[in-house]
A and B are shown apart, each in its own frame.
Chain A
Amino acid sequence: MMDALILSRIQFAANISFHILFPTITIALGWFLLFFKLRFQWTGDLKWMEAYRFWVKIFALSFAMGVVSGITMSFQFGTNWPGFMESVGNIAGPLLAYEVMTAFFLEAVFIGIMLFGFSRVPNWLHTTATFLVAFGTTMSTFWIIVLNSWMHTPQGFEMVDGVAFATNWWEIIFNPSMPYRLAHMLLASGLTVSFLIAGLAALRYILGDRKETVRSQIRAGLTFGALLIPIQIFAGDLHGLNTLEHQPAKVAAMEGNWETGPNTPLVLFGIPDEEARTNHFEVAIPNGASIILKHSPDGVVPGLNDFVAEDGTVLHPPVAPVFWSFRVMVGTGFAMLLLSWGSLAFLWRRADDGRRFAIRRLPKPLLWALVPMALSGWLATLAGWYTTEIGRQPWLVTGVLDTSAAVADVPAPMVLSTLIGYLAIYAALLFAYLSVVVYLTIKARHGEPLTELTPGSGAAVVDAITRDGGAGPRAIPAE
Chain B
Amino acid sequence: MELLGFPATQWLPFAFASLMGFSILLYVILDGYDLGVGILTPLAGSEEERDMMVASIGPFWDANETWLVLAVGLLLVAFPSAHGLILSTLYLPVFVMLVGLILRGVSFEFRVKARAKYKALWNNLFFIGSLMTSLSQGFMLGLYVMGLQFTPLTILFATLCALGLTMGYAFIGATWLIAKSEGALQVDAVAWARKSILGAAAGIGAISVATPLVSERLWNKWLSFPEALYLAPLPILSLMLLSILWRGLETHPRGEGVRAWIPFISALGLFTLAYIGLAYSFYPYVVPEKLTIFEAASAPESLLIILVGAMVVVPTILAYTILAYWVFRGKTRELRYD
B324 at interface (Cβ–Cβ under 8 A)?
A: yes
Q: Which residues of A have CB within 8 Å of B86?
A: 78
A335 at interface (Cβ–Cβ under 8 A)?
A: no
Q: How many whole Å from B331's CB to the nearest CB in chain A?
A: 11
Q: Is the pair B58, A78 in contact by a Cβ cutoff of 8 Å? A: no
Q: Give me the interface of B with A, judged by CB distance under 8 Å.
A: 58-60, 62-63, 65-66, 68-70, 72-78, 80-81, 83-88, 90-92, 94-95, 98-99, 101-103, 105-106, 108-110, 113-115, 298-299, 301-302, 305-306, 309-310, 313-314, 317, 320-321, 323-324, 327-328, 333-338
A65 at interface (Cβ–Cβ under 8 A)?
A: yes
A439 at interface (Cβ–Cβ under 8 A)?
A: yes
Do A94 and B77 form a contact, CB below 8 Å, given A116-B59, A119-B336? yes
Chain A residue total in the interface (Cβ 8 A): 74
Do A101 and B317 form a contact, CB below 8 Å, given A93-B80, A112-B59, A166-B302? yes
Do A410 and B77 form a contact, CB below 8 Å, given A439-B114, A459-B333? no
> From B106, which residue of chain A is reached at the shortest CB distance?
A64
**30 A-B pairs whose Cβ atoms sit less than 8 Å apart in the complex:** A53-B338, A56-B337, A60-B109, A64-B62, A78-B94, A82-B81, A82-B83, A89-B76, A89-B77, A94-B77, A94-B305, A97-B73, A97-B77, A101-B309, A102-B309, A108-B66, A110-B320, A112-B60, A113-B59, A119-B338, A408-B84, A409-B88, A410-B91, A418-B91, A421-B99, A425-B103, A432-B114, A436-B113, A439-B115, A455-B338
A106 to B62, CA, bound (A): 11
A93 to B309, CA, bound (A): 13
Do A429 and B59 form a contact, CB below 8 Å, given A97-B309, A108-B65? no
Name the residue among B80, B86, B115 with the largest chain A CB count within 10 angstroms. B80
Q: Which residues of A have CB within 8 Å of B306?
A: 93-94, 97-98
A429 to B62, CA, bound (A): 19
Q: Is the pair B109, A109 in contact by a Cβ cutoff of 8 Å? A: no
Q: Is the pair B317, A105 in contact by a Cβ cutoff of 8 Å? A: yes
A96 at interface (Cβ–Cβ under 8 A)?
A: yes
> From A406, which residue of chain B is reached at the shortest CB distance?
B84
Do A109 and B80 form a contact, CB below 8 Å, given A74-B72, A116-B335? no
Q: Which residues of B have CB within 8 Å of A350?
A: none
Q: Is the pair A75, B65 in contact by a Cβ cutoff of 8 Å? A: no
Q: How many whole Å from B74's CB to the nearest CB in chain A?
A: 7
Q: Which residues of A have CB within 8 Å of B309?
A: 94, 97-98, 101-102
Name the residue among B84, B85, B103, B317 with the largest chain A CB count within 10 angstroms. B84
Q: Is the pair A121, B327 in contact by a Cβ cutoff of 8 Å? A: yes
Q: How many whole Å from B334's CB to the nearest CB in chain A?
A: 6
A104 at interface (Cβ–Cβ under 8 A)?
A: yes
Do A118 and B337 form a contact, CB below 8 Å, given A75-B94, A89-B80, A90-B298? yes
Q: Which residues of A have CB within 8 Å of B69?
A: 70-71, 74, 100, 104
A45 to B76, CA, bound (A): 49
A435 to B106, CA, bound (A): 14
Q: Give me the interface of A with B, judged by CB distance under 8 Å.
A: 53, 56-57, 60-61, 64-65, 67-72, 74-75, 77-80, 82-83, 85-86, 89-94, 96-98, 100-102, 104-113, 115-121, 163, 165-166, 169, 408-410, 414, 418, 421, 425, 429, 432, 435-436, 439-440, 454-457, 459
Q: Is the pair A93, B298 in contact by a Cβ cutoff of 8 Å? A: yes
A94 to B306, CA, bound (A): 6
A91 to B302, CA, bound (A): 7
> From A415, which residue of chain B is reached at the shortest CB distance?
B91
Besides A78-B76, A96-B77, 20 new A-B residue pairs in contact (Cβ under 8 A), listed by A number: A61-B113, A67-B62, A71-B68, A82-B85, A86-B84, A89-B302, A97-B309, A98-B306, A98-B309, A100-B66, A101-B309, A101-B313, A107-B62, A112-B328, A115-B59, A116-B337, A410-B91, A414-B91, A425-B99, A454-B338
